[in-house]
Amino acid sequence: MFPDTGARTRYLSLALASRKLIDSLLSFVESNRQDPQLASGLSQFATALTLNRAGNNLFSTPNQASFSHYEQVLTLQDALKSLSGRDIAAELSGVLDDTSNIENRRKNAKSVIDFFYAVENRALNNYNQQIGMRDN
Amino acid sequence: MAAVDEIRHDTASLYRFINSVCASCDSREAGRTYPPASDDLLAYIRELGDCTRLFLETFPATVPLDSSYNFYRQKLLTLRSCWFELHQYIKPTADAHTLSLPGPLIEGLLRRFRQLPGFADSRFAVFHIEKLNYLQVVASGVRAIAGQMASIIPNAPSFPSNLGLLGIPYSQGSSVFLNCLIPHEMAHFAYGENGAIRAALLPRLASSLTRAFAGLPPLDPQNIALLMDWLESWTEEVFCDLFAIWLVGPCYSFAFIEIFDLTNILDSAGGLNSFGTSPYSEFFPSHPSSLFRIKQHLALLERLDWWPQFNRTKSHYYKVLELSNSLVDGHFAFSKGQNMGTKALEAFFDVVPAIHEQVNLLMSSLDTGLAEYKVSHHAVQEYLKNGVVPSTIPSIEHSTKVFPSPVTVLNAAYSLYLESLDTLISGIANQDPSSIRDRQKWAEKLESWASKAIEDHGLLISQKAG
């Protein structure tokens, strides 16, 4: 019981954060309702993706950024790989850009749901491996 | 089966699963009582279950049968995984009734914990664990998960902010000495709740790693994450050890030495068995080496002036502490990640003084209990040697009474166990200090008298206050 709680809960936490955004983005796309926490949630992922691209010993974050644990970084990279050819960071910026017209933002929102779906999916798969539900 | 039927089936399946999980919140032994905070934890899970089920009742009707179907469907898997996580805590909490727990000790420790700034209303739900390792139980993750669940389930309650979780090995309910490790778990709660500690330490970790890797080729993002995770885990563990020592005194270190059997590092002459020492010098991804931790224990015990209270020649446990001081940084190793592991250690050693600083900042308003120990521990030990529970001790002039605190009782009893168990047994007819059975029997008696004294202390100070 309780094997490696840290890794397990990091996967589940990433899945839950992705789910929260999928729910909010679906609501935005389908009903034009904007969750007040949508922008901050998307910004967290945008920051995580920026750090994921960096290759210059960026240890100097003032406080550890969201989704920066090892298991979360691997999961995000895996999700990005599954959507290769897409510029997810640009799509996230497109949703966040409140100077853009609403239709463009909704288009970007619709597109970026794929990414959060992939992150949630992989994080849940990794979580279930940790608890022994996907042992081969 | 049509998609609409499939989603209805899958939703009902999850609903049934949550139903059964919530029902086990009520599967408690009749006639038993439970810590109030454990009742609160189970009530919280029940309420979260009610909200999840209410959400599921209407969920299938909200799922469109078009290209976005999977985006909705996967929420069921996320919720199911969350309930897998909660499921693990329910039976161990429901099993942990007060007779199976070191209740008076937990209460005594909690009274001290609540004296810390920001923790006056803290409480702990208690659950049984199967593994005999208090130091591996970090229950803060499930609190965070429950909090995030509330953001995706309409009207779901937030996890109570002042509710911590304590795991006690199921076999150790009546143990007093090994349960001196409990403050380490309380420290994990304090570390998680007090954001200022982490906020102060993380930039130190980052700058220390930057220095250690300066001039080396750039690292991949996953290696950067790995290094930060290693250092943060080690930092939190050392923080929790130091916190525990401040809360309860050197008995924490004695219990630490006992559970890891660290006296195995000694040779027959009481020196370091250098070949046998190396495994205890190795760091792990989630924990610093045992000997490195002991070295930090000693540093704090010296600074708090506890250490001069113990005569090194009287117990081999004290020798382990003393010998740890001879180990320099180069003695410790971390073999993961090849060269990266060595650099990680270099960065960590640089951060250790900052961990001590943070413990001082949080704990310095709490009386260590040393002054009372100095005055009372001889009397407490005399009582114990004579099989008397040291609940009330007349002062020297017999005009007042002293109710020895849990810190005094625990440290006096533990040092008596380490130094003078022979004397205690020799005073009892037909008992043999060289008999392992007799030693086991009288060590248990000693623990039960200490436990009773701690229980009485809670009653006596509440009467005095009333």
For A32-62, what is each residue's pLDDT tens digit? 888 888 999 999 998 888 877 665 556 755 4
- The pLDDT confidence band at residue A133, using thresholds 50, 70 and 90, is low
Q: Indicate if B382 and B335 belong to the same structural domain.
A: no
Q: Indicate if B276 and B341 belong to the same structural domain.
A: yes
* Least CB–CB distance from B141: residue in A9, A113, A128: A9
> Which of B332, B363, B394 is the last residue before a domain boundary?
B363
Exposure of B65 in the CB half-sphere (CA atoms within 13 A)? 9
Determine the Cα angle at B218 with ends B216 and B219, to 5°: 110
* Least CB–CB distance from A59: residue in B130, B206, B220: B206
Q: Which residue of B has its CA nearest to A112?
A: B71
- Cα separation, B321 vs B317, in Å, equals 7
SS3 B213: coil
Average pLDDT of span A93-108:
90
Q: Indicate if B293 and B277 belong to the same structural domain.
A: yes
Judge whether A74 lies within some domain.
yes
Is residue B450 predicted with pLDDT exceeding 90? yes
Is residue A118 predicted with pLDDT exceeding 70? yes
Residue type, A28: F
Residues of A in contact with B146 (CB under 8 A): none
Q: To which residue do tokens 């750039």 refer?
A: B218
Mutate to test the interface with A, among B55, B76, B131, B151 (most CBs of A within 10 A): B151
- Cα separation, A13 vs B454, in Å, equals 40
pLDDT at A135 (0 to 100): 45
Residues of B in contact with A77 (CB under 8 A): 221-222
Strand partners, B282: B333
pLDDT at B80 (0 to 100): 97
- Cα separation, B118 vs B333, in Å, equals 37
How many domains does chain A divide into? 1
Strand partners, B394: B401
Nearest to B165 by CA among B133, B149, B141: B141
Question: Residue B420: which domain range?
Answer: 370-465
What sign does the dihedral B175-B108-B400-B413 (CA atoms) show? positive
Judge whether A136 lies within some domain.
no
- Cα separation, A108 vs A128, in Å, equals 31
Is residue B1 predicted with pLDDT exceeding 60? yes
- The pLDDT confidence band at residue A3, using thresholds 50, 70 and 90, is very low
Tell me the backbone φ, ψ of residue A132, rounded to 5 degrees: 85, 15
DSSP code for B164: E
Q: If you average pLDDT over every residue of chain A, what do you get? A: 86
- The pLDDT confidence band at residue B342, using thresholds 50, 70 and 90, is very high
The answer to whether A2 contacts B145, with C-beta atoms less than 8 Å apart, is no
Residue type, B401: K
- The pLDDT confidence band at residue A1, using thresholds 50, 70 and 90, is very low
Is residue B379 predicted with pLDDT exceeding 90? yes
Judge whether A121 lies within some domain.
yes
Determine the Cα angle at B34 with ends B391 and B389, to 5°: 15
Judge whether B386 lies within some domain.
yes
- Report the share of chain B in percent with pLDDT over 70: 97
Nearest to B384 by CA among B356, B411, B352: B411
Judge whether A78 lies within some domain.
yes
How many domains does chain B divide into? 3
Question: Residue A101: which domain range?
Answer: 5-54+64-130
pLDDT digits (tens, 9 = 90+) for B256-269: 999 999 999 999 98
Judge whether A81 lies within some domain.
yes
Strand partners, B124: B164
Average pLDDT of span B427-443:
93
pTM of the model: 0.93
